[in-house]
């Protein structure tokens, strides 16, 4: 259910419509806000308090883009194909209450980077 007045806050399911300089059509990125083991990421902080239809501009630099997105970098890459560097135009598509299963799943997956980076997280196939 879409609620224009529901704002992004802890443990809310968020759906973003994202465009980049190389992708003119919206790509959708969904996640549960605030489930990272290291706390709220700078990316999430930019979204806090926003509601459906709000827009945010964000640049992911090569040097700190992964740090800015944090635990969400792997799902962002998997769902959208977006990797730093990128300039993002983000429109909030939907904000809803995440159910308990979605929260647990998001928290469980938040501990691994999801990539092939030799980080030792155990999240690599």
User: What is the domain range of residue 36?
Assistant: 5-108
Q: Does residue 78 lie within any of the structural domains?
A: yes
DSSP state of 99: P
Q: 96, 100, 121: which is closest to 110 by C-alpha?
A: 121
**DSSP-derived 3-state class of residue 78:** helix
| pLDDT exceeds cutoff 50 at 62 | yes
Q: Does residue 30 lie within any of the structural domains?
A: yes
Instruction: Give the chain's domain count.
Output: 1
pLDDT given at position 88: 96
Round the average pLDDT of the chain to a whole number and report it: 87
Residue 14's domain is classified under what CATH number? 3.10.50
Q: Does residue 118 lie within any of the structural domains?
A: no
CA 45 to chain centre: 11
103 — pLDDT class (breaks 50, 70, 90): very high
Q: Does residue 84 lie within any of the structural domains?
A: yes
**Interval 66-90 mean pLDDT:** 93
Q: 74, 90, 84, 81: which is closest to 36 by C-alpha?
A: 74
pLDDT given at position 111: 61
Q: Does residue 95 lie within any of the structural domains?
A: yes
- Both tokens of 72, joined, read 């969400």
Q: Does residue 119 lie within any of the structural domains?
A: no
Q: Does residue 124 lie within any of the structural domains?
A: no
Q: End-to-end CA distance of the chain, in Å?
A: 35
Give the span between the Cα atoms of 101 and 107, in whole angstroms. Answer: 10
Q: Does residue 96 lie within any of the structural domains?
A: yes
Any residues with CB less than 8 A from the CB of 72 and at least 6 apart, and which?
A: 31, 36, 41, 43, 44
């Amino acid at each position: 259910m879409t609620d224009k007045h529901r704002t992004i806050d802890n443990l809310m399911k968020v759906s973003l419509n994202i465009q980049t300089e190389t992708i003119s059509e919206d790509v959708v990125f969904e996640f549960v806000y605030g489930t990272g083991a290291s706390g709220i990421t700078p990316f999430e902080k930019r979204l806090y308090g926003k509601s459906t239809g709000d827009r945010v501009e964000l640049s992911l630099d090569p040097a700190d883009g992964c740090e800015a997105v944090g635990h969400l970098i792997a799902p962002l890459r998997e769902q959208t194909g977006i990797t730093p560097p990128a300039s993002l135009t983000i429109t909030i598509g939907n904000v809803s209450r995440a159910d308990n299963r979605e929260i647990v799943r998001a928290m469980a997956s938040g501990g691994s980077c999801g990539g092939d980076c030799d980080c030792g997280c155990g999240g690599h196939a």
